[in-house]
A and B are shown apart, each in its own frame.
Chain A
Amino acid sequence: MFAFIIRRVFQALIVMLIISLLGFAIKQSVGDPVREITGISVSAEERDALREKLGLNDPFLVQWVRFLDRAVHGDLGNSFYFKRPAFDVILSKAPATLELVFATALLVILFSVPIGIYAAVRPNAWPARFLMGASIVGVSIPVFLTAILLIYIFSVTLGWLPSFGRGELIEIFPGWKSGFFTWDGLAHLVMPSVALTTIMLPLFIRLVRAEMKEALETEYVKFARAKGLRPSRVLLLHAFKNTLLPVITVGGVQLGILIAFTILTETVFQWKGMGSMFIESIERADTSLTVAYMVFVGFIFVVVNTIVDVIYGLVNPMVRVAGGRS
């Protein structure tokens, strides 16, 4: 296990190294930071002097090596816009995104599992068909449109929920301001997490349903039924357990997709997390922050995938012993 983790840490470092290299290679195409931080009437020489001072005129490999040198000392560069180290900025924005993702994951599990199981057990019942169809509507409306429609209905028309931001926050420990512990914070969380859930839900309902259907056809479930075990027990203990594996795998993979969608959701709800920070850093050509963010996300992906692999390793033998698909 120890060797495994060491190996993964090493791989994570290489991943981050490559991301930073590619990031530096393409950052010119994102835009020119000097343009963003100077007024338009500033002379070309003045601008070039600033570019020189910031080292932006050097070839990208030189810039990259300089970045690496600093990164070794824990400095991922400086955000032009925030005028702070990029890593600090990312950490200060992370709680907002993590809370949003957590709330979304909770909602997805809460809805997809029962609906998925129901749709597998009664595939032709009209409520099952309706839910399957209706969930697709969520994924066919782009998330930014879902978000603004929610705002239109619940903030503008009905006035029930606040239209933007995170509301009242409480610092639960240094650097982590949470919205989970105030009514205002929770009220602000409702629409963004629902918007994100509508995107993820159809996939997971279908996945649970499909896997569950397979599980129900297996011999051991039939056998358990024949033995006269309670149907609910058969469903949950025997059949559902078998669907966990693919759901966890796809869940881990979907995390990357979820991050992509938080970008749009955060922007519409003015939810100041890493997603909106990333898109704004691109819009402002705050390239140091863009690259630092990608390196950070790369690290997160390796960590999450490692965790998924570990869970997989733990769950897998059990499944094989218990299940043994014919």
Chain B
Amino acid sequence: MTRIKQFFNSFFFYRFIRDPVAIGSFIVLAVLFISGFGAPVIAPHNPYDTTTIDIMDSELPPFWYPDSDSRFLLGTDSQGRDMLSTMLYGMRVSIFIGLGAVTLQAFLGITIGLIAGYKGGRFEAFLMRVADVQLSFSTYMVAIFFGALFQAAFGMGLYENFAIPMLIFIIGFAEWPQYARTVRASVLGEKKKEYVEAARVIGLPSRRIMWNHILPNTLTPVLVISTVQVANAIMSEAALSFIGLGMPVTRPSLGSLIKAGFDFIFSGSWWITLFPGIMLVILILSINLLGDWLRDFLNPKLYKG
């Protein structure tokens, strides 16, 4: 109880409650998360249960059209899946993959970048060249590689069960270098500064200097990249579905729904393109606006007042 009271009395909460944009985006994000993770309860249909889908229901328009079907509020896609339910189920997957992959990227990238920047010398050269190799390979090739390994090891059948963790791993693993390079550059700028010298002189262990002293001062660009990167990770997953390595095609994510919408841009069935697109925009927008606010709040270099 006191914890909660403490929270409500905190400076964090004080600032938060006075910023309408922060509150607004927090509420929107909360609604999206709840409806995404609560999809099995909230959604009117289960699009992943293929027995309920009928191709004859495909491409039905949203409810305000005369030829719509009352079962499908926002219409159906090219397979006859309910758009609303599919988007909710798909968003859950996309949030998992987006946040998961970015967390992994950031963790790998920050660690490698910190160490490379702080230690310097050969070690740094080695890590940065590894980053170059990784970057040249692009997510696509990394995915092909691990996808082939996975299939060789486990065969085809298990894919469906392991798709999400595997995608988080692939996208997280493929895109760490931009964090590493950014962090390293900031570390180079910081490590000659007096406060680091001072910490070293009083004999603090380098791990502690790196994580507790230097890192907080390099976070600005890292946070900027992270909020933007969530959107990229979600779409990377969709791009991978083309080479057969995204989510299984019978279980579309929000990203793959958008990708499928690309084909329908001229078709007249605009809802197939537009609804998932709007949903992703709202999701990313609220994450970013909240991120913008949080970044300003957390930045140790800014005076708050």
Contacts and interface: CB of A to CB of B under 8 A. Distances in A.
Interface of A: 7, 11, 14-15, 18-19, 22-23, 25-26, 28-30, 123, 129, 132-133, 136-137, 139-142, 144-145, 148-149, 152, 156, 202-203, 206-207, 210-211, 213-214, 217, 245-246, 249-250, 252-254, 256-257, 259-260, 264, 282, 294-295, 297-298, 301-302, 305, 308, 312, 316, 319-320, 325
Nearest to B25: A133
Contacts of A29: 144-145, 147-148
B21 to A, nearest CB: 7
A250 B221 contact: yes
22 contacts: A29-B144, A136-B288, A137-B281, A139-B232, A141-B280, A142-B255, A145-B262, A145-B273, A148-B262, A152-B265, A210-B299, A217-B303, A246-B182, A249-B181, A250-B221, A250-B225, A253-B178, A253-B182, A298-B133, A301-B132, A308-B185, A312-B188
Given A202-B228, A294-B141, 14 more contacts: A15-B136, A140-B231, A141-B280, A149-B265, A206-B292, A245-B189, A250-B182, A253-B178, A297-B136, A301-B135, A302-B132, A308-B185, A316-B188, A316-B189
A252 B255 CA distance: 28
Scoring B136, B177, B232, B265 by chain A CB atoms within 10 A of each residue's CB, the highest score goes to B136
A139 B231 contact: yes
A295 B129 CA distance: 13
B148 A210 contact: no
B296 interface: yes
A259 B175 CA distance: 13
A211 B186 CA distance: 12
B217 to A, nearest CB: 8
A9 to B, nearest CB: 12
A86 to B, nearest CB: 15
B126 to A, nearest CB: 9
B144 A26 contact: yes
Contacts of A213: 296, 299, 302
A301 B255 CA distance: 29
Interface of B: 21, 125, 128-129, 132-133, 135-141, 144-145, 147-148, 177-178, 181-182, 185-186, 188-189, 192-193, 220-221, 223-225, 227-228, 231-232, 235, 238-239, 255, 258-259, 261-262, 265-266, 273, 277, 280-281, 283-285, 288-289, 292, 295-296, 299, 301-303
Given A136-B284, A305-B181, A312-B185, A203 B277 contact: no
A144 B262 contact: yes
B28 to A, nearest CB: 12
A148 B178 CA distance: 28
A17 B21 CA distance: 50
A136 B289 contact: yes
Contacts of B192: 320
A282 B189 contact: no
A78 to B, nearest CB: 20
Contacts of A325: 193, 301
A215 to B, nearest CB: 9
B301 A214 contact: yes
B258 A145 contact: yes
Contacts of A18: 133
B132 A249 contact: no
B186 A246 contact: yes
Contacts of A25: 145
Nearest 6 CB-CB pairs, A to B? A140-B284, A29-B148, A249-B185, A298-B136, A256-B135, A301-B132
A212 B98 CA distance: 29
A51 B52 CA distance: 46
A22 B220 contact: no
Contacts of B266: 152, 156
A140 B280 contact: yes
A282 B133 contact: no
A250 B113 CA distance: 13
Contacts of B189: 245, 316, 319-320
Nearest to B282: A140
Contacts of A139: 228, 231-232, 284, 288
B224 A207 contact: yes
A214 B178 contact: no
A257 B299 contact: no
Contacts of A210: 220-221, 223-224, 295-296, 299
A169 B255 CA distance: 36
Nearest to B19: A124
Nearest to A291: B141
B36 to A, nearest CB: 16
A141 B224 contact: no
B190 to A, nearest CB: 9
A282 B137 CA distance: 13
B182 A15 contact: no
Contact of A302 (B129, B273, B283): B129
B302 A203 contact: no
Contact of A203 (B188, B224, B238): B224
A207 B219 CA distance: 11
Contact of B137 (A19, A30, A133, A245): A19
Nearest to A14: B129
A203 B185 CA distance: 17
Contacts of B295: 210
Contacts of B188: 312, 316
Given A22-B137, A206-B224, A302-B129, A140 B283 contact: yes
A23 B193 CA distance: 42
Contact of B261 (A145, A312, A319): A145
B181 A26 contact: no
Contacts of A22: 133, 137, 145
